[in-house]
A and B are shown apart, each in its own frame.
Chain A
């Protein structure tokens, strides 16, 4: 036993650097496993705890005509309380399941903050409990006060508000400041900034691909203040219900629909479909986010550890081949097979354990950095608790050690089969030689090309001397090139998609968003074009959420519909058609992810569920009653663009269908002559000064792109980490393989030197051989890189919001080749230098590995 340990120590000591590289690969695998999986455990727990601690509603039900006026928009608070109590009495079984409920007002409106307009939502709930006593927090949908104070007992008589953290951060708002709310701009004093799990991600709807507090800010009001503001004394428009813990989604939905049915049939109220907690936008989106990153966190370590197993296999099988004579001696001396296997297994275990230890520590470090980073990136006001997850740590250790066992056992077992006598007579350099003339040389001979023995014949023969040897070298190159090209391809695909989107698809220089939909847009556009200098083209769009349904597959998809106005041939958007070839204002243009999800193609019919105006309350601001109608459209184009959940229809068409008054649009797009930043700024100021009354935001393309980039930061961060891992891994694996490959040949190289081959020629031959291996490996590596890129981007990071075109540029190809090639050259440098400086007397005499 002691002897075995000593042998293991000796073997490791002799190869420490190379063994360490394999340890490093394992370490990276374990790091990513520990880091990512634990990070997402933390994340999930952070959200779940936030939801639980703050009594997030199990389901929410809003009036059918939310934001409108009249019977189906507002319900009397006291009546509704009685109705719900009645429901609970009638259904005692369900009553016990309702823990609490809260009647609220949710209303989309405008704010004026620091003199600028901002759209958003007010959320209002009572500051009294059901007994009429003051309370600090509502029973359902609570929040966390980040700065300032809770409402006081007097708050309900005052115009005070809490503002949600994202909005506060965007405008740098502090308690004691004022903001104006609503069309009549009533000032409200901010008493506190709050974090609400309901608004972890500040998103108006699922279809808003770029949640930004500028587009959707949330302000909390005392119920009474909100009622006064909106002129709906004693009314509410939303019910949030908190059920007992642990009910299934089915159960929750059943109770929700029972309640809806009860209220609608008995009291003639009208509600839109209840929203279950699972479908709550902020919760849903975060989970989606986590899910994707978690998949990444599993797949990445699997790939890396797979490579580690490959690396160990190559390393040990070659080590065993090289030491076969010693093994034979040991066997002849009476060591049994088990002891010898144990010895090699010991080496691989030490590698694995060292790697696992490093990986576990790195993983913990990574974690303490990653979780807060993630939370910070989304400005989530709930700090994750960074704890060591022992089950994950232990799984990591088990996985790491298994890697060592699997990678070590097979090559060793295989090579200790033969009789000691055979092992004793074994010559490793013959072992790696097939003793055949390669086909390519015979072909060359047909063309009367005879290579000289001192020329390129030697590297050529070497390349073909042993399938296993060449394969493992090429394999290392494939691993390296595919990893690097995949990682850089990811970054590039994202960049390229974004660049294409903003340089080509989005064909405008300035974009004006309105707070209230104007109904005389063509007139506004005309005056801007006439009065503002250097505006060459101008057009406008009407954006609206809608659901696309395919008749055949009966699949549904929530999308953003853009009603496009064709102003003198200027659309403000350039289509990148995958199917179809021209914009047709009569038809519908869909993005690829929607077409894929719905299983529809060109010329198919789909339904768009659009709001149809039934009653106009006022035109400025546009207040109206709507009902949803399904309109059939023919698909005239399918586009492959960055924005993944978007559909385009002609504006005329949309207006006709929706029955909108006038010429409504919420966005005006401008094309500017020579759009330098200075000029854009000037024009922006001019438009704000002249037409600023209803302008919510004027953005340049660069600004909009910047906003998006900020949002994608997390993704970029993950990809950069993958890229760094990829490069380290590549170096480790290439180094190892090339090193071993040369080590095996050391006696041959020494012989060549002894009989008078000069260093230059020798280095040339080896370089030629390795270059060919690198080139061949690069070709396959790029193919695998592409497949992996596809796998990661399309399967793992499958986000339909963004449609990322996969792309590996010549630059990436070049970089992956060069980086790998440099790795190869470095790898060949060390053993070569050693051999060249070797005592040839020794090298030619003894078996040296």
Chain B
């Protein structure tokens, strides 16, 4: 176990580093300090679980990592200081380096499962059409949806949609996989399938840093590292030996 006190200077040598990251929301008259002076260093090949109660700043943390929210401070992703990028560069960063899995799936409803995955691959790579399709199919097979690859989101269950989302996020070979409460909308069984998919991906891809946000203690057990957040501050960081998702129950 390894606890880091706030204010103590730590060595930042991981693949992803945050230095004094602050995020303040101004709402009406008052301000909300969603992230307070966060400094972190995260290694690739790990499944980092961010755990905290609702409103503690988990989603905000994930969003600033994925560059879909702005913040003060410095964030570096494999030597790229994303806090200094312009809009265009940010788009490129998200396109090539980040894979998102949202709580609400957010698949394109007009595309079937295969096309949803293809879309992300096409965006991020210069592969030929054939290769794109092959790769998308491979990933769908990996998440157990080969048979259902021609179905549209409206024809898939929530868990299936989320597995498509996982395939979409991974198929483009990201450096960062960001999952925000991916099981929030799912039943336990469905949730376990999705988490298993994510765990498998982490195992397969040591070059990828996966950050998973949850408010659920049980789910947090699947992670290699647990970052506890409370009121926008890092409470503790601890490493643990992960429990396979299929063995969980919540």
Interface residues of A (CB under 8 A from B): 429-430, 432-433, 435-437, 450, 452-454, 457-458, 461-462, 465, 747-748, 751-759, 839-841, 844-845
Contact = CB atoms under 8 A, between A and B. Distances in A.
B26 to A, nearest CB: 12
B123 A841 contact: no
Given A433-B152, A452-B129, A752 B91 contact: no
Contacts of B98: 755-756
Nearest to A843: B68
Contacts of B66: 754
Interface stretch (B107-115, B201-209, B216-224): B107-115
Sorted nearest first, the 3 A-B pairs with minimum C-beta distance are A756-B95, A461-B110, A435-B152
Contact of B109 (A435, A754, A841): A435
Given A435-B152, A752-B108, A844 B68 contact: yes
Interface in B88-139: 88, 91-92, 94-96, 98, 100, 102-104, 106, 108-112, 115-116, 118-120, 122-124, 129, 132
A440 to B, nearest CB: 14
Given A841-B60, A845-B59, A845-B103, A754 B94 contact: yes
Given A841-B59, A841-B60, A757 B129 contact: no
A416 B37 CA distance: 47
9 contacts: A433-B153, A452-B129, A453-B111, A465-B109, A751-B106, A753-B91, A754-B66, A754-B100, A844-B68
B102 A453 contact: no
A454 B100 contact: no
B115 A453 contact: yes
B32 to A, nearest CB: 14
B103 A756 contact: no
B168 interface: yes
Contacts of B112: 437
Nearest to B180: A845
Contacts of A753: 91
B154 interface: yes
B63 A755 contact: no
B91 A759 contact: yes
B155 interface: yes
A450 B68 CA distance: 32
A509 to B, nearest CB: 66
Nearest to A748: B108
B239 interface: no
Interface of B: 59-60, 63, 66, 68-69, 88, 91-92, 94-96, 98, 100, 102-104, 106, 108-112, 115-116, 118-120, 122-124, 129, 132, 152-155, 168, 180
Name the residue among B118, B152, B180 with the largest chain A CB count within 10 angstroms. B152
A748 B109 contact: yes
Given A429-B109, A435-B155, A458-B110, 8 more contacts: A432-B109, A450-B129, A748-B109, A754-B100, A755-B100, A756-B91, A841-B59, A845-B103
Contacts of A461: 110-111
A756 B102 contact: no
Name the residue among B66, B116, B119 with the largest chain A CB count within 10 angstroms. B119
B118 A453 contact: yes
B122 A758 contact: no
A752 B120 CA distance: 9
Contacts of A754: 66, 68, 94, 100, 106
A321 to B, nearest CB: 14
A465 B110 contact: yes
B108 A758 contact: no
Contacts of A756: 91-92, 94-96, 98, 120, 123-124
Contacts, number: 98
Contacts of A752: 108
A325 B155 CA distance: 20
Name the residue among B63, B68, B104, B110 with the largest chain A CB count within 10 angstroms. B110
Contacts of B123: 454, 755-757
Contact of A840 (B68, B103, B115, B180): B68
Contacts of A452: 122, 129
A453 B121 CA distance: 9
A845 B96 CA distance: 21
Contact of B88 (A430, A436, A758, A839): A758
A747 B153 CA distance: 15
Contact of A433 (B88, B94, B102, B110): B110
Contact of A453 (B88, B92, B122, B180): B122
Contacts of B116: 453
A25 to B, nearest CB: 31
A430 B115 contact: no
B132 to A, nearest CB: 8
B95 A755 contact: yes
Contacts of A453: 111, 115-116, 118-119, 122, 132
Contacts of A433: 109-110, 152-154
Nearest to B153: A430
Contacts of B95: 755-758
Contacts of B120: 755-756
A457 B115 contact: yes
Given A454-B122, A747-B106, A753-B91, A841 B115 contact: no
Contacts of A841: 59-60, 63, 68-69
A770 B14 CA distance: 47
A840 B180 CA distance: 14
A154 B123 CA distance: 103
B191 to A, nearest CB: 17
B69 A840 contact: yes
A751 B108 contact: yes
Nearest to B104: A845
Name the residue among A433, A452, A755, A757 with the largest chain B CB count within 10 angstroms. A755
A748 B103 CA distance: 14
A840 B118 CA distance: 22
A437 B151 CA distance: 11
Contacts of B152: 433, 435-436
Nearest to B169: A755
Nearest to B107: A751
A839 B139 CA distance: 30
A193 B122 CA distance: 86
A751 B115 CA distance: 15
Given A435-B152, A844-B102, A845-B59, A758 B115 contact: no
B204 to A, nearest CB: 21
B108 A454 contact: no
A748 B102 CA distance: 12
A757 B106 CA distance: 14
B111 to A, nearest CB: 7
A596 to B, nearest CB: 53
Contacts of A751: 102, 106, 108
A755 B94 contact: yes
Nearest to A747: B106
Nearest to A846: B104
B236 to A, nearest CB: 25
Contacts of B63: 840-841
Nearest to A759: B91
Contacts of A435: 109, 152-155
B66 to A, nearest CB: 7
Given A755-B168, A844-B102, A839 B108 contact: no
A756 B99 CA distance: 10
Contacts of B109: 429-430, 432-433, 435, 465, 748
Nearest to B90: A756
Nearest to A751: B106
Contacts of A758: 88, 91, 95
B36 to A, nearest CB: 18
A453 B108 CA distance: 11
Nearest to A836: B87
A166 B8 CA distance: 100
A60 B115 CA distance: 86
Contacts of A462: 110
A573 B66 CA distance: 80
Contacts of B124: 756
